[in-house]
Amino acid sequence: MKLEKAYDYFSAYYEGTLDAALRDQMDRLFAANQRLRHDFDSFAASLDDLELSKAREIEIPADLHEQIVARLDRSIYESSRNQPQGVMAFWRKYALGGLAAVVIIGGGFAVANRGTADQASAGFTAIPSATPAGLQVVGEEGGTFLRFSPTANDSVKVMRLPDAKLMQSYDVSANTKLDVPLKNAAAEPVTLLISTAEGKEMVVVIPGTQKQAAGSGQGSLLDFAKAMSATYLLPVTLDSSKRDSMLRWDLNDSSLTQPATIPEGVTVELKDKLIRIRF
């Protein structure tokens, strides 16, 4: 066997899968050539070292699932936009007669350069500095606001669920801020999927004008969020990738955050005039 050919058999020799005749030839070559022996030893040592990686713990990002689902949702949404007939079919499938809530978004839309003069006097609302680039829905005395302040150019789309109708979209330049009120003049609450081109995404339910009596119900997690919003006339944000999970609930008037029956695994939080549901 030529010396160069011997290197082709290193793996099989290391794994012990060479037939006896070839193994003997290799052994003879190793005995006659110190360099080859040395190369094989370092080859075996490098594989042993590689195996050490197996034991290394790799930390999984806490929001990995959300990142994957957000990317998938965006891809599905974008392909549905590129197929108009598909969108119509989707709409027909999900449209619910008599429940077509109307959302008014706009009015207070403002984009301002960072670091400009007194924003409050200009009619803008300050964004909490802890999350400067975050997509936020905030409940305040004046209503519910969508805020976004990216560090790179981005865009925000607001879609109604479940029919995926695009209600509004905004291009937001780097280091500017978006600050728009979310209003619903219809009787029923409306569910919105708010997403950015960079993959951030959130679901929010904006209450309508009509209060719903507290009581029990069943349906998807989205239905539960809608029931909460209609019962307490408050906006609800939904922090979950399992929006289609089926649940049962029983809401009461006395305590918002402690319904008579809370679906298992669901947490409900009331903060700053906004209900946050996590599942």
Partner 1 sequence: MSSAQDDLVLIERTKQGDRAAFDDLIYKYERRAYQYAYRLTSNSEEASDVVSDAFVRVYNALQNFKGQSAFTTWLFRIITNCYLDARKKERSRPTVSLDNAMQSSEGDFERQVEDEGPGPSEELEKSERERLVQAALFKIPEYQRAMLVMYHVENLSYDEIAEALDLPIGTVKSRLNRARLSLREQLTKDKELFTLG
Q: Residue type at 140?
A: E
Contact call for residues 205 and 188 (beta carbons, < 8 A): no
d(CA 128, CA 162): 31
Q: Least distance (Å) from partner 1 to the CB of residue 7?
A: 6
Binding mask 196-235 for partner 1 (x = CB under 8 A): ---x------------------------------------
CA quadruple 159, 273, 67, 75: dihedral, nearest 10 = 0
Q: Least distance (Å) from partner 1 to the CB of residue 70?
A: 8
Q: Does 245 bind partner 1 (CB under 8 A)?
A: yes
Binding mask 77-116 for partner 1 (x = CB under 8 A): --x-------------------------------------
Hey, which residues does 172 pair with through a beta bridge? 154
Q: According to CB under 8 A, which one of 2, 20, 35, 58 is a site residue for partner 1?
A: 58
Nearer to partner 1, 68 or 96 (CB): 68
d(CA 13, CA 44): 10
Q: Using DSSP, state whether 191 is helix, strand or coil.
A: strand
Chain position carrying tokens 């539960």? 224
Contact call for residues 278 and 246 (beta carbons, < 8 A): no
Binding residues for partner 1 restricted to 138-197, rule: CB under 8 A: none
Please give the residue ranges that form the binding site for partner 1 (CB under 8 A).
7-8, 10-12, 39, 42-43, 46-47, 49-54, 56, 58, 60-61, 64-65, 67-72, 75-76, 79, 199, 241-242, 244-245
